Chain A
């Protein structure tokens, strides 16, 4: 049995097509990432799978249960952490956790082992109201509350948005531990560099899946040679490269620009001469491996 199975799900809001015939499957114990920008359809997909929204067309099962017929079963079995903080602000940390445990007919003690690593960091503040928690702590509490009934499938909608790089890394480490406990995880993120933390990913844009595969296969399928360039004047370099007739694509990537070239018989030496004439110094050109972000941009253009 698949943890999640989605068949041709379609949903619109008036004129806006949020999801267009999406199909995919998530294996048991897999971390599956939905990677794409805001407005791509990620949250709509999460709401359909957690039975909070009906699809216009198509079908889906979660943990073997149909999202329409068996919605009550699904609600008992899954954990859902929405993108927007939605715990009770007037309850304390411990009261929130207790509340969610009680709603699901369990106790904090029964499944404490699942949340122990995360909850230990919150314990010094267990009597503090949720409204007085920092962003990072709210997020940790929300994760605890979505885990306290030992869900079979965990849905995390953008758990790392607006979170600093250190806390983001910590969260992904926690997800790896949960996976080892056999929990299947569907997680969405707009940060392309988090793709490699997932077993498989779907790249999503404008309601369409551009690709579903392992992060490794996706970058291996990048069908152009990619070069990284830098010089002493990075912004001018970007414009000069764009104006070069044989350069097919050129994007800024932090300390270098990534380019692809449109013809085979193009010599890098010529490019070096061209840039020298434009007055660039300290020119460095080297072939590099594509990242998920390179692939995403190639697929959307």
Chain B
């Protein structure tokens, strides 16, 4: 089953083509890495997929809804975690989960079970009553992820979720991603850590608004005779001619 299906998606700002005619599909339960240099057009593409920005041309279906004509339904079916921390620092851990579960429309009677379940998955039972501002950064990121999937979305968008996180926590974070994918949640993730690209089932690499490559890490490494994803990335992204964000 396709959770994302995009055809010739394009977005222009004035004379500048930020996203240039991209087409791809993402399957249910897949971990899909969306890579590219700063300014390649990743954020613009993600904003369209989340129903926050309308395409100039082309079409896209996300979680079964048209991103242009059914953007509100798209928003209700997805989870999103931004690179900027966006939980409420002055609320406790359980209060943040409770708040977002309510906002995303989790039925009232299920919420308290949801809170317990998420605290357990995170190993956070002891931090239930802790104010979020007192958590270490890595824990905040793990909590943010958990909250992004509190309503069991079909797909979750993660925008550089592990920037600056310590190496051990970075790995724990990826284990949460694996667990969610095993439960059938599709993962759409951007990262600047090329070892993390290896955890993805497939990755795409955007250069100057276009998708230059899209395949499994293994096939990409073979195709570009590279020993790791960093080499693949350097080969493709060095060709970039534009510099913008």
What is the interface of chain A, defined by CB distance below 8 A to chain B?
A: 36-40, 121, 134-137, 158, 161-169, 190-192, 205, 234-235, 238, 251-255, 293, 296-297, 300-301
If A164-B38, A166-B37 are given as contacts, then 14 extra A-B residue pairs at C-beta distance below 8 Å, sorted by A number, are A134-B38, A134-B39, A134-B243, A158-B164, A164-B192, A190-B165, A191-B193, A192-B167, A205-B166, A252-B171, A255-B217, A293-B167, A297-B167, A300-B167
Min CB–CB distance A103 → chain B (angstroms): 27
Q: Are A252 and B244 in contact (CB under 8 A)?
A: no
9 A–B contact pairs at CB < 8 A?
A134-B244, A134-B245, A136-B38, A136-B245, A163-B192, A166-B238, A169-B234, A252-B175, A300-B167
Give the distance in Å from the alpha carbon of A146 to the alpha carbon of B194 in the complex. 29
Q: Which B residues, 206 to 244, have Cβ-Cβ distances below 8 Å to chain A?
A: 217-218, 228-230, 233-234, 237-238, 240, 243-244
Q: Which residue of B lies closest to A205 (CB)?
A: B166
A121: which B residues are within 8 A, CB to CB? 243
Min CB–CB distance B125 → chain A (angstroms): 21
Q: Among B2-10, B101-109, B195-203, which stretch is in contact with chain A? A: B195-203
Q: How large is the interface on B (under 10, 10 to 19, 20 to 34, 35 or more residues)?
A: 35 or more
Report if B168 contacts A (CB, 8 A): yes
Specify which of A36, A251, A252 lies most central, judged by the most chain B CB atoms within 10 Å of its CB: A252
Given A37-B138, A38-B137, A39-B136: A164 in contact with B175 (beta carbons within 8 A): no
Give the distance in Å from the alpha carbon of A164 to the alpha carbon of B192 in the complex. 6
What is the interface of chain B, defined by CB distance below 8 A to chain A?
A: 36-40, 83, 136-138, 160, 163-169, 171, 174-175, 178, 182, 192-199, 217-218, 228-230, 233-234, 237-238, 240, 243-245
Q: Which residue of A lies closest to B39 (CB)?
A: A134
A40: which B residues are within 8 A, CB to CB? 166
Q: Are A165 and B192 in contact (CB under 8 A)?
A: yes
B165: which A residues are within 8 A, CB to CB? 37-38, 190
Q: Are B168 and A301 in contact (CB under 8 A)?
A: yes
B160: which A residues are within 8 A, CB to CB? 162
Q: Are B168 and A297 in contact (CB under 8 A)?
A: yes
Q: Are A190 and B164 in contact (CB under 8 A)?
A: yes
Given A38-B137, A293-B167: A165 in contact with B38 (beta carbons within 8 A): no
Give the distance in Å from the alpha carbon of A273 to the alpha carbon of B243 in the complex. 52
A37: which B residues are within 8 A, CB to CB? 137-138, 164-167, 169
A168: which B residues are within 8 A, CB to CB? 192
A293: which B residues are within 8 A, CB to CB? 167
Min CB–CB distance A114 → chain B (angstroms): 22
B178: which A residues are within 8 A, CB to CB? 235
Specify which of A40, A134, A205, A234 lies most central, judged by the most chain B CB atoms within 10 Å of its CB: A134
Min CB–CB distance B167 → chain A (angstroms): 5
Min CB–CB distance A239 → chain B (angstroms): 9
